[in-house]
Amino acid sequence: MSNRKTKVGVVGCGVVATAYYLPHLMKMDAVELTAVCDLNEARIGHCQRLFGARQVYTDYFEMLEKSGIDAVFILTSPGSHVRFTLAAIEAGIHVLLQKPMATTMDDALAIARAVRKTKLVALIEPSDHSPLDWRYDEVRRLVGQGVLGDPYWFAFIGRGGTKKGAMSGGNPYGVGAFFSKDSGGMLFDFPYAPTMIVTLLGDCRSVQGLAQISVPERWVVPDSEYDTFLSECRNPEDCNYWTVVMEKEKTQKTTMGAPDNVYSLYEMANGWIGAFHIGRLFQQALPGVTYGGLEIYGTEGHLVLQTENFASICSIRAELLPKTDENGWYHIPHPKGPPNPKHLPIPGAFNYYHESSEHFIECIREGKDPILNVEWGLHITEMMCGAIESAETGRRYVMTTTTRSFP
Mean pLDDT, the chain, rounded, equals 92
278-297 tens-digit pLDDT: 987 656 666 655 556 899 99
Tell me the mean pLDDT in the region 30-45: 97
**Which residues have C-beta within 8 Å of that of residue 238, sequence separation ≥ 6?**
none
Confidence tier at 349 by pLDDT (50, 70, 90): confident
- Using only C-alpha atoms, the chain has a radius of gyration, in whole angstroms, of 21
**pTM here?**
0.95
What sign does the CA torsion over 128, 131, 136, 140 have? positive
Q: Tens of pLDDT along 228-254? A: 999 999 999 999 998 899 889 999 999
366: left (phi over 0), alpha (psi -120 to 50) or beta: alpha
- Share above pLDDT 70 across residues of the chain, in percent, rounded to a whole number: 91
Q: What is the mean pLDDT of residues 351-371?
A: 97
